[in-house]
Structure 1
């Protein structure tokens, strides 16, 4: 989890920081005012306390180094894919009159091998806000979900065939990210050709 520099509710200034949870430890890394880096860690025990490992020998930091490389890989994948699907494209599609007329629970659009379904934003019976999304069912009955959970990017999830429940796309699984790109690009072409929605193509 990456947190940018900010001022919290108490008025305290917080510098850039990174939190990493591994199968063995918690790590907290932050940037000091003099641009030096500090490292803290603690075990997974509930009563464990943070301790400074900034000056620890390199061989004691192998676990952190391995997960740091994993973090850099995730950041590279996020920069490559996360903003390639435009929020405005998803918003435009969801607001098209044909889509608004569909029954969220029963209606979808078929292109011959894939089914496209749509969910508008609503509040469920427990008072939770359910965000608008586009769902693509693939020929093997897997699902890709494209959700408007925030204003800066389209969140993506995946559901394998014959499995109930969405899961986040792992930033270490570039195959799934590329597949989600291809399915959405074909979906945009389908919408442009059949509903005359002016969407950019990659």
Structure 2
């Protein structure tokens, strides 16, 4: 843990820290939200809005609106078995704000619960779910108690960007899926280089080309 003397110079660095804290308090700034340098995530206020919208949606739902239906003629390969998610949902891509549903029947999150992606890590993602459950957490005080969890990419099905789509025709060829592994990008870096003759965005400068 860093000490005041490691950051501030002078005869009394601890006193300088107290002065800085008093100034921040006078400006109405109390506690900053901790943000990791190795993940991309939504702010606490945005997460709160997502929770309120989900609560409003479920408040207007009633059990009388649900209807039972019998589904026939669905081939076996079009049905996703929860135990097969680790193998069949490889290389799914996600983005902040994507709507997802839990398709794994083992773990702390109940099966088929829906939620919204609020954080992307190197191998996992943070999701705030529509309903609370016993093993839910606050994700570092970013959401309400029992509403958040960190899950692996292959435990959820992306509903906003469907990538696991299988035809109900038994004779249809298997779908072509992306073989590129999902590697989230962190920071405000451009996705593509600027076109020739155009000004670079966000201060991006391509590396100089050296002749070989």
For CA contacts below 8 A with separation 6 or more, give which structure has more relative contact order. 2
User: Which protein has the bigger helix share?
Assistant: 1
Give the TM-score normalised by structure 1. Answer: 0.26
User: Which protein has the bigger strand share?
Assistant: 1
Higher Rg? 2
